[in-house]
A and B are shown apart, each in its own frame.
Chain A
Amino acid sequence: MKILVCISKAPDTTAKIAFTDNNTAFDTNGVQFIVNPYDEWYALVRGLELKEQNGGSVTVVNVGLAENEPIIRKALAIGADEAVRINVNPTDALQTAKEIVAFAKAEGFDMVLLGKETIDYNGSQLGGMIAELMDMPYVSLASKLEMEGTTATIHRDIQGGTEVVEVTAPFVISAAKGMAEARIPNMRGIMAARTKPLKVVEGSGANASTTIANYELPPAKGECHYIDADNAAELIELLHNEAKVI
């Protein structure tokens, strides 16, 4: 079973969000970067579990510059067999998808696993785009994935419930909570990661179709209006008359 896991770099969940260059760029000053949690905890770990059960290999791919190598090494430390970095600084998901497809097309992967979204851009785009460009079935927001030969049984989150679906490999899946339990890399994994292959390939020259004009921070919240605990009932009136939400 040949498994491809797409991993992205994201600011640590506690990072302060600020912008520079006239609000056109994210201010990375003092920001710690991590592997996007959904990619690491769910897509990568489930990929590793499937490999452990069925044999095969797990390749991680990242579209990004050399500065991303620490997070790629982290994925190798958790257990991926090899890594590919496509040496492009992508502008949007469609460009990223085209670069991944240009690399993956000839590799014969049985499945492509991604996180449900990146925690910075919150796109939820890449998986569907890769699936369309590779003409494969796509199941988004999957919380469970079991393989039986080439048939996958997948649970996916839908409104107010879960849908159980069946697809045949090769396919693309975006992973949400429930897929797997996060793994912490151990010393052996970290040592091994140093010598595992991290191949750098040049991009195919795909174009982006969107550009970020600028960023905005939400308007500052006004002061909190405190209500005395003894007069809690007053809150209900305020929600009706002032906030007009009930």
Chain B
Amino acid sequence: MSVLIYANTANGKIHKSAFEAVAYGSKIAADLGTNATAIVIGACSDAESLGEFGATKILHANDSKFNDFDPSIYTQVVVKGAEAEGADVIIFSHDFSGKSIAPRVAAKLDAGLVSGAVDYPSTANGFTVKKAVFSGKAFANITINTDKKVISLLPNSVDKSAKGGSASVETFSPEVGAATVKVKEVIKESADLPLTEAEKVVSAGRGLKGPENWGMIEDLAKELGAATACSRPVADMDWRPHHEHVGQTGVAIRPNLYIAVGISGAIQHLAGVNQSKTIVVINNDPEAPFFKSANYGIVGDAFEVIPKLVEAAKAFNASNH
């Protein structure tokens, strides 16, 4: 018995969400009294760093034939890794990589899958994992009844700090079938951190009146080290790029800090952001529904409030906190 964690990469390095998945899987392994092995597929220059997050062994399938992200091939590699390690619990991040491979691995192993887990499994009564459902409006505790168990972890859910420690990296060269997906091109949308992984987000809605007014939002985001987001109508009117659209039909995020400026707080918007740890709402209408979900609220005109916040954030940064 052991725990296997798939650690995804981006641009030849371990991706941020993978560190959290490894920390999560290592804690589960410790609770089960076993070891955690991480598996890395494709070129990666810092695989050994996963040791600091609790993995005691790292399998690196580093053949160049693994450089394209082909879910069918990656599934075979993970399944062979699980066989080699005798793993009963397999962990993924619930990001694009986990969404592509975890269900395939679960089907291949005929294993129960909980996707989008937000907490450690409870083993008091079976093996039960908590996940977000109804677009963040509730949670479900799901019991996995099969011997083999697959979990994909919603990023930003558990402690992801490095604990120290080291791991041996072993080259892993499983036999796999022919490629099924040919990657032709990768189009970068922004060099910055993707929205789903940002810990702070400044978001604005139709209350800003037009795309020309986003300068102050970007300034505030820059001072706070935050990513920018927007409500759906703002993306629909092309005031902002589509990948910034958060909510039920856009991306779902759960940063530590979500600042909503000139957004009314419609239920479909809330569905994508209401799991944020701290919510700040800035709106000139004291009746805006968003205030009901807010931790902090400022009733006021964004065009007056935001410049003040930018100044305050500048002063805060300068004071070397």
Question: What residues of chain A have their CB less than 8 Å away from a CB belonging to chain B?
Answer: 11, 13-14, 17, 19, 37, 92-94, 97, 116, 119-129, 131-133, 136-141, 153, 155-168, 177-178, 208-218, 221-222, 224-229, 232-233, 235-240, 243, 245-246
> Measured between C-beta atoms, what is the minimum distance from B168 to chain A in Å?
28
Q: Judge whether B163 is part of the interface by a CB distance below 8 angstroms.
A: no
- Rounded to whole angstroms, the CA-CA distance of A178 and B179 in the bound complex is 27
Which chain B residues (246-295) contact chain A, with CB distance < 8 Å? 248-250, 252, 256-257, 267-268, 271, 274-275, 277-278, 280-281, 291-295
Stretch at the interface among B20-28, B69-77, B211-219: B69-77
Chain B stretch 13-62: residues in CB contact (< 8 A) with chain A: 15
| Cβ–Cβ contact B297 & A159, under 8 A | no
Q: List 11 A-B contacts (CB under 8 A).
A: A17-B134, A97-B107, A119-B271, A133-B107, A136-B180, A137-B72, A138-B104, A163-B69, A164-B184, A222-B295, A235-B312
On whether the beta carbons of A120 and B134 are closer than 8 Å, the reply is yes
Residue B102 at the A interface, CB < 8 A?
yes
Contacts of B243 in A (CB 8 A): 157
- Residues of A close to B136: CB separation below 8 A: 218
Known: A160-B192, A165-B181. A212 touches B107 (CB 8 A): no
Q: Report whether B313 and A217 are in contact in the complex, using a CB–CB cutoff of 8 Å.
A: no
> For the complex, what is the distance from the CA of A38 to the CA of B75, rounded to whole Å?
25
Pair A215/B113 contact, Cβ less than 8 Å: no
In the complex, the answer to whether A137 meets B196 with C-beta atoms within 8 Å is no
Given A119-B248, A165-B183, A227:B296 Cβ within 8 A:
yes
The answer to whether B138 touches A128, judged by C-beta atoms less than 8 angstroms apart, is no
CB–CB A212/B141 < 8 A: yes
Contact A240 B139 (CB under 8 A): no
A contact residues around B130 at 8 Å (CB): 216
Residues of B within 8 A of A (CB): 10, 15, 69-72, 75, 94-96, 99-108, 110-116, 125-126, 128, 130-146, 180-194, 196-197, 199-200, 224, 242-243, 245, 248-250, 252, 256-257, 267-268, 271, 274-275, 277-278, 280-281, 291-301, 304-305, 308-309, 311-313, 315-316, 321
CB contacts (< 8 Å) of B249 on chain A: these are 37, 177
Contact between B188 and A240, CB atoms less than 8 A apart = no
Q: B96, B142, B145: which contacts A158 (Cβ < 8 A)?
A: B96
Nearest Cβ on chain A to B196's Cβ, whole angstroms: 7
A232 and B300 in contact (CB under 8 A), knowing A129-B103, A159-B197, A177-B242? yes
Main SS at interface, chain B: mixed
Evaluate contact between A161 and B116: CB separation under 8 angstroms. no
In the complex, are the beta carbons of B113 and A218 less than 8 A apart?
A: no
CB distance from B54 to the nearest CB of A (A): 23
A209 touches B145 (CB 8 A): yes
Instruction: Please determine whether A122 and B297 come into contact, CB atoms closer than 8 angstroms.
Output: no
Q: With a CB–CB cut-off of 8 A, which chain B residues contact A97?
A: 107
Of B186, B274, B296, B312, the contact of A225 (CB 8 Å cutoff): B296
Task: Please report the C-alpha to C-alpha distance between residue A223 and residue B140 in the assembled complex, in whole angstroms.
Answer: 25
- Across the interface, B113 reaches (CB within 8 A) one of A93, A127, A166, A214, namely A93
Q: Is the CB of B141 within 8 A of A239?
A: no
Residues in B with CB closer than 8 Å to A214 are: 140-141
- Tell me the interface secondary structure of chain A in the complex: mixed
Please tell me if the beta carbons of B99 and A128 are within 8 angstroms of each other in the complex: yes
Cross-chain contact A216 with B106 (CB below 8 angstroms): no
- Nearest A residue (CB) for B98: A124
Chain A residue numbers with a CB within 8 Å of B190 are: 160-161
Choice from B72, B146, B183 contacting A163 with Cβ under 8 Å: B183
Residues in B with CB closer than 8 Å to A228 are: 298
B117 to chain A, nearest CB (A): 12
CB < 8 Å: which of A140, A159, A226, A232 contacts B309? A232
**Distance between A245 CB and nearest chain B CB, rounded to angstroms:** 4
Given A13-B267, A17-B138, A245-B200, A215–B133 Cβ distance below 8 Å? Answer: yes
- Nearest B-chain residue to A124, judged by Cβ: B99
Q: Which of B193, B248, B249 has the most CB of A within 10 A?
A: B249
B15-A166 in contact (CB<8A): no
CA distance A225 to B298 in the complex (A): 9
A238 to B298, CA, bound (A): 13
Complex interface: chain A residues within 8 A of B108 (CB):
132
CA distance A217 to B139 in the complex (A): 6
Are A216 and B187 neighbours in the complex by a CB distance under 8 Å? no
Is the CB–CB distance between A138 and B291 below 8 Å? no
**Beta-carbon contact of A94 and B113 below 8 Å:** yes
Closest to A211 in B: B143
A144 to chain B, nearest CB (A): 11
User: Which residue of B95, B104, B135, B183 contacts A132 across the interface (Cβ within 8 Å)?
Assistant: B104
Q: Which of A121, A128, A211, A227 contacts B103 (CB 8 A)?
A: A128
